[in-house]
Chain A
Amino acid sequence: MSKFLTISVLTATAASGIRLAAPFLLASLGETMGQRSGVLNLGVEGVMLLGAFGSYYTVLQTGDLWLAAIVGVAIGLIMGLITAVVSVTLKAEQGISGIGVFLFGLGMSDLMYQKLVGTPRPVAQLPAVNIPFLADIPGFGKMLFRQSLLVYLAVLLVPALAFVLNRTTYGTKIKAVGENPAAADSLGVSVNRIRYSTVILGNALAGLAGATLAMELGIFQQNLTQGAGFIAVALVYFGAWRPWGVLAGSLLYGLVAAIVLQWKTLGIIPLSASDLAATAPAVITIFALVLVARRFRQPAALAKAYERGA
């Protein structure tokens, strides 16, 4: 344990925790948009897998990390459109259609990987970008300001989404259709149009989350996300549907994962027990769900399709 409690190891662990939190954060912020408008998008995991493969394959073919990120977003947009048609227009049961999207993404990403790549081929990882001056602050600089651009983007999206939700007309409309779609409809807000936009943008962020994950690791494999997309959905509950709460949850997750990894590397916990330690995030989530369910109320129309006059 004394090996772990040194300044350099602690800052390195915190830095990797923030890095690991980024995909969760991106996907959760996207999911927050959808849920605030009343749509439960459970397909995040599948969309992340597709985005991850798309961006990995782009890096493999072109070496262009920016293009790869854009491909991740584009795949998310397409999957978002499909999800919106199914959840909003066809009013499918959202808890189940999301599992369908997950299975589709799981199978499709593996199919493409096996067919187009086949053997594991690592690619370039996202480079860290040092922010001038700030990166040189002892301790904090290394922790916060030597991350990749996508990590900075993810964190900056938190105040951005909070601003949109709380300070803009669009945000008010999102919350209105999530709480009382009939009332919003009667005031001339197009419920379906708002929900289409949140679901499509939310899925774009899920696609980017998958891209971030793949580019941070520099690899792709079957089921690369290993439940990260589902955890991202749970983090929205964890954060009580607020962007800052989601940030706190994502950071907690990233840090727990980083600490477990670090302990494994330093031999603080035996390798055999690392499987048990890996259950920590899921167990924490279940307890968090209990606490949140007692104190906070979910958007009243969450996962309920809206039908005029019904």
Chain B
Amino acid sequence: MSSKSRGLARHDWGRLLLSWFAMPLAALAALLIGALMLWALGANPVTGYRALGEGAFGSVDALTNTAIKAVPLVLVGVGICIAFRANVLNIGGEGQLVMGGLASTATALAVPGVPRPLLIPLVLLAGVAGGAIWGAIPGALKAYFSVNEILSTIMLNIVAVQVMNYLLSGPLIDKKFSGFSAIPQTKRLAPNADLPILVSNTKLHAGIVVALLAAIVVYVLLWRTGLGFRLRAVGLSREASSYAGMPVKRTITLALTLSGAMAGLAGAVLVFGSASHRMVTDGTATGFTGSAGFNGIVAALFGGLHPLWTVLSSFIFGGLLVGGNAVQRAVQVPSSLIVALNGLVVVFVVSIEYVRRRNRNRPLSFGMPQPVQEPSGTPEEVEL
């Protein structure tokens, strides 16, 4: 067992080295296309990107905002690492975030009087539980009923958002403002559950500690425990793992459950680390999450599905999201630009992955031209 485990680890280091070249290329390509888009929209790309950099990393305030934005991305991202390593494609981060947020909010509303040292762990655990349940459903459906997890998680995203809209504009709404045009939001939640501020005069809250701890725990889980070995083995070959006597179905269910738990934790941190200390949405699909469920996938892929690299890449993508608003102010290009660029990063990263796979068998010659047969069917050959 231990020798196998070391073999896998060595193999991953090879991939990691390759990723040093692949990831910056993917990012560069996306940024170049972004520059073209800025230019096409009549904005100066240099001014735009300078605003982006300064808005994201240029001052203490900017860095704090970036760090806060990165927290849900780290949590969702390390969850994605667990699922994707087990070859389970969890696209349900959005729904799991929402369910985590709702479960933790309901807990804080139910027992607001619990003392602070107990209530904070309690609401965080409630978030974990909410997300875990929303991950366990598609996990079990995949393992025991062979339901495609991509589709079931996307459907559960839709369900979660509608349930949230119902609860926040109905049963859980802030009664003080429940008029005709009331914002769908809860009342101010129990102050005992507020995540403590780490540095006074900033907004930096303890969520960042939670995120870093989670990344370390997931790293240890994936590479230093038997369960992690099983998760990765099932991801590499379901047949071989089954032949080796591993409980494949249970492992698949567990992968999505753990992945959902991390996203649920992110939901709880979003609520109790927010400036308003309420659960708020605006009726749209991403009103509460800010697309963190999707952006966490981007961050995890960019981090090579490694929990610790995911921390770094989450910080970069958090910066992009924060800087996007600065771009809007500086060159009047809407911050949706960042969403589009994130999409391009995903496409580029998974496209480059093929080149990395081809290189995997020749770890010493990466970066060199490969005598590999060109795949047939280039675009020019297509008959329409």
Could you tell me which A residues sit within 8 Å of B by CB distance? 42, 46, 81, 84-86, 88-93, 95-97, 99-108, 110-111, 114-115, 190-193, 195-197, 200-201, 222-223, 226-227, 230-231, 233-234, 237, 272-273, 275-276, 278-279, 281-283, 285-286, 289-290, 293-294, 305, 307-308
Contact = CB atoms under 8 A, between A and B. Distances in A.
Contacts of B343: 46, 99-108
B331 to A, nearest CB: 11
A111 B350 contact: no
Q: Which 5 A/B pairs are nearest by Cβ-Cβ distance? A: A192-B377, A107-B339, A100-B346, A107-B340, A103-B343
B154, B294, B341, B345 — which one has the most chain A CB atoms within 10 A of its CB? B154
Contacts of A84: 379, 382
Contact of B354 (A42, A91, A111): A91
Interface of B: 37, 41, 89, 91, 141, 145-148, 150-152, 154-159, 162-163, 165-166, 169-170, 284-286, 294, 297-298, 301, 333-334, 336-348, 350-351, 353-355, 373, 375-379, 381-384
Contacts of B381: 193, 196
A279 B159 contact: yes
A93, A103, A196, A237 — which one has the most chain B CB atoms within 10 A of its CB? A103
A234 B151 contact: yes
A42 to B, nearest CB: 7
B378 A104 contact: no
Contacts of B166: 272-273, 275-276
B347 A100 contact: yes
Given A42-B150, A230-B154, A89 B346 contact: no
A233 B153 CA distance: 13
B337 A111 contact: yes
Contact of B353 (A93, A234, A285): A93
Contact of A86 (B156, B157, B347): B347
Given A193-B376, A196-B381, A275-B169, 19 more contacts: A46-B343, A81-B379, A84-B379, A92-B353, A95-B91, A96-B89, A99-B91, A99-B346, A100-B343, A100-B350, A103-B294, A105-B343, A107-B340, A193-B377, A227-B157, A230-B151, A237-B148, A275-B163, A278-B162
Nearest to A297: B146
A194 to B, nearest CB: 9
Given A97-B346, A100-B350, A106 B339 contact: yes
A115 B156 contact: no
A111 B156 contact: no
Given A100-B343, A290-B147, A279 B163 contact: yes
A293 B154 contact: no
Contacts of B89: 93, 95-96
- Interface SS, A side: helix
B334 A115 contact: yes
Given A86-B351, A276-B166, A96 B297 contact: yes
Nearest to A185: B376
Contacts of A110: 334, 336, 339
Contacts of B347: 86, 92, 97, 100-101, 104
B169 A286 contact: no
Nearest to A82: B347
Contact of B337 (A89, A107, A275, A281): A107
Nearest to B348: A100
Contacts of B342: 103, 107
B382 A196 contact: yes
6 contacts: A84-B382, A86-B347, A107-B342, A110-B334, A115-B333, A193-B377
Contacts of A81: 379, 382
Given A190-B377, A193-B377, A104 B344 contact: yes
Nearest to B95: A282
Contacts of B150: 42, 95
A86 B355 CA distance: 12
A192 B376 CA distance: 7
B285 A227 contact: yes
A307 B350 CA distance: 17
A226 to B, nearest CB: 7
A168 B159 CA distance: 41
